[in-house]
């Protein structure tokens, strides 16, 4: 059974396909699926998946940066760009994107990504600070419950 184009680009279907390609370590195929789906409908989960693949290709980074022109304050896209830059070892650029993501919307994932970045470049104190912030965000929902 073949899916129609509209079905293939539905966010849930595209996310499932992208995850399957990521498990197979086929980042190019995962990125193609995500790019087509995002071209039809912008979806945060797909943007985040785009940065989860261990792909360090320049094309992926350029594509994500082109999306940033239309969505400069998208926290998920900024996080994805930070992750893609870490993959290419563009440390300063990665830090800028990740900090911009945090400034837009503080998330556990962005703090964890910054902690990872700082750990990789030997800034242990900064890495610990962001690990603590990530853990605090992870605990926040539990603290609100009676």
User: Which residue bears the tokens 């999306």?
Assistant: 67
User: Which residue bears the tokens 């995500």?
Assistant: 34
- Whether residue 36 is found in the same domain as residue 67: no
Above 80 in pLDDT, residue 144? no
* Span 45-73, average pLDDT: 91
Structural domain of 49: 1-55
Above 80 in pLDDT, residue 39? yes
Token pair, residue 109, equals 């994932």
- Whether residue 71 is found in the same domain as residue 129: yes
- Whether residue 67 is found in the same domain as residue 108: yes
Percentage, residues of the chain above pLDDT 90: 80
* Span 19-23, average pLDDT: 94
The per-residue pLDDT for 57 is 81
Q: Which residues contact 133 (CB under 8 A, 6 or more apart)?
A: 106, 111
* Span 111-121, average pLDDT: 97
Question: Do the Cβ atoms of 75 and 107 come closer than 8 Å?
Answer: yes
Question: Do the Cβ atoms of 14 and 33 come closer than 8 Å?
Answer: yes
Tell me which of 43-57, 89-103, 104-118 is least confident. Answer: 43-57
* Span 44-53, average pLDDT: 93
Q: What is the mean pLDDT of the chain?
A: 90
- Whether residue 31 is found in the same domain as residue 71: no
Token pair, residue 41, equals 């409908």
- Whether residue 36 is found in the same domain as residue 92: no
The per-residue pLDDT for 1 is 46
């Amino acid at each position: 059974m073949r899916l129609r184009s509209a079905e293939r680009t539905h966010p849930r279907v595209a996310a499932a396909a992208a995850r399957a390609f990521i498990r197979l370590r086929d980042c190019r195929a995962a990125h193609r699926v995500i790019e087509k789906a995002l071209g039809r409908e912008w979806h945060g989960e797909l943007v985040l998946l785009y940065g989860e693949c261990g792909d360090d290709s320049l094309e992926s980074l350029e594509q994500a940066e082109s999306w940033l022109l239309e969505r400069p304050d998208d926290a998920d896209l900024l996080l994805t760009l930070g992750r893609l830059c870490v993959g290419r070892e563009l440390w300063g650029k990665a830090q800028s994107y990740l900090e911009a993501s945090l400034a837009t919307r503080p998330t556990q994932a962005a703090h964890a990504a910054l902690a990872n970045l700082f750990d990789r470049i030997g800034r242990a104190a900064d890495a610990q600070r962001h690990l603590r912030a990530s853990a605090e965000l992870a605990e926040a929902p539990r603290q609100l419950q009676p």
